[in-house]
């Protein structure tokens, strides 16, 4: 395996378009490991926040979401006390409560349950799942036909949407492209990591992220985000969040295998009538070349606070340089013409 120094010296990073192997594009040799990532199946997320806690504990991420005295912040966003991804929240569990008049949610969302139980035999909810299998605990609740539980007054339906968000580890990462110090780098696993001791806190990476993931930590001034537990990967361990997830909503592994799993899961849900289910970040031809962390959603991305059409900011760099060169040539021609007219 090539060293990081050799990798950077031979890197010819692409800025846009489909890219099968980001690590190779960054300069790693053919012996590097397969690209890894996350597939988050939100249809089986129960909002337990185990991933948030595991991420903080393993990576020593500072506490947030409290008022300083240990009491949780009340943001008015259901049970969400952190609000969004930032420098001290590398995993964020979103709680979306879709409240509709009774019966309208059923018509709008097909009336099918939000997921499919796996590993739990019918009539035996106490049975434990086999290792690696997914359990849909929501499907064990009484079926209201509205992806949620009916309110006591029978006048409204509340549909719960829960999703554990994380850095997408984009195929084309704008944060990496604009970093002036090399603090952000592409690993041999195809992920994107910040080196804290090299980051100078310039903040260029913050507006370059189309997902609004990376942020500066006020106490240190440096940029921080999910590393996909780079230190654990080097030891053959799965990331802490995936290890802690009790329903296997967060799945970790080779990206090509995860994509096949996601395609099969999507087809399964569509076959059950959950027509609104969709994959987000799965398309290698999207504006970031596909994501290393992608999601199965049960509604439009905007409902989950995700941009519907993310585009890496460095996509326009070649055109910007061309326009700048044309402007420079035009300016030079104008100066020369003015000089010759002055001599005449």
Distance between CA atoms of residues 222 and 202, nearest Å: 8
Sheet of strand 91-101, all strands in order from the earlier edge strand to the far edge: 91-101, 156-166, 148-150
> Residue 343's pLDDT band (boundaries 50, 70, 90)?
low
Strands (E), 232-313: 250-254, 278-280, 293-297
Q: What is the pLDDT of residues 278-305, one digit of tens each?
A: 999 999 999 999 999 999 999 999 999 9
| 12 has a pLDDT exceeding 60 | no
pLDDT at 329: 86
Confidence label for 344 from pLDDT (cuts 50, 70 and 90): low
Within a 13 Å sphere around the CA of 278, how many CA atoms are in the beta-carbon half?
Answer: 11
Picking from 68, 71, 93, the residue whose alpha carbon sits closest to that of residue 82 is: 93
Percentage of the residues of the chain whose pLDDT score is greater than 90 = 55
Reported confidence tier of residue 66, pLDDT bands at 50, 70, 90: confident
With bands split at pLDDT 50, 70 and 90, how would you rate the model's confidence at 219? Answer: confident
The pTM score is 0.76
pLDDT of residue 174: 92
Report the range of poorest mean pLDDT among 42-51, 93-102, 119-128, 141-150. 119-128
The secondary structure of residue 121, as a DSSP letter, is -
Give 325's contacts (C-beta < 8 A, 6+ positions apart): none
Measure the CA–CA gap between 267 and 256, rounded to whole angstroms. 17
The CA distance from 270 to 276, in Å, is 8
């Amino acid at each position: 395996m090539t060293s990081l120094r050799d990798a950077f010296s031979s890197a010819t990073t692409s800025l846009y378009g489909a890219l099968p192997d980001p690590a190779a594009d960054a300069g790693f040799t053919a012996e590097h490991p397969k690209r890894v990532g996350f597939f988050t199946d939100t249809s089986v997320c129960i909002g337990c926040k185990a991933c948030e806690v595991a991420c903080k504990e393993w990576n020593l991420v500072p506490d947030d979401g409290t008022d300083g005295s240990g009491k949780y912040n009340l943001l008015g966003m259901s049970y969400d006390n952190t609000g969004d991804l930032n420098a001290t929240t590398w995993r964020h569990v979103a709680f979306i409560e879709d409240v509709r008049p009774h019966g309208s949610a059923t018509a709008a969302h097909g009336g099918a349950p939000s997921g499919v139980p796996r590993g739990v035999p019918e009539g035996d909810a106490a049975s434990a799942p086999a290792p690696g299998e997914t359990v849909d605990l929501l499907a064990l609740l009484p079926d209201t036909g509205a992806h949620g539980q009916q309110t006591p007054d029978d006048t409204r339906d509340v549909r719960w949407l829960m999703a554990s968000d994380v850095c997408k580890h984009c195929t084309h990462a704008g944060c990496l492209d604009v970093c002036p110090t090399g603090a952000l780098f592409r690993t041999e696993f195809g992920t994107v990591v910040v080196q804290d001791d090299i980051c100078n806190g310039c903040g260029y990476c913050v507006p370059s992220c189309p997902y609004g993931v990376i942020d500066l930590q006020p106490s240190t001034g440096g940029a921080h985000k999910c590393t996909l537990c780079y230190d654990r990967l080097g030891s053959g361990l799965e990331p802490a969040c995936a290890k802690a997830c009790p329903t296997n909503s967060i799945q970790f592994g080779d990206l090509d295998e995860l994509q096949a799993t996601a395609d099969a899961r999507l087809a399964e849900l569509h076959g059950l009538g959950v027509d609104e289910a969709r994959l987000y970040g799965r398309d290698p031809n999207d504006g970031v070349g596909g994501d290393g962390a992608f999601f199965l959603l049960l509604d439009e991305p905007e409902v989950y606070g995700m941009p519907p059409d993310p585009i890496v900011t460095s996509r326009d760099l070649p055109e910007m340089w061309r326009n700048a060169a044309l402007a420079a040539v035009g300016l030079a021609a104008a100066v020369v013409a003015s000089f010759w007219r002055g001599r005449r």
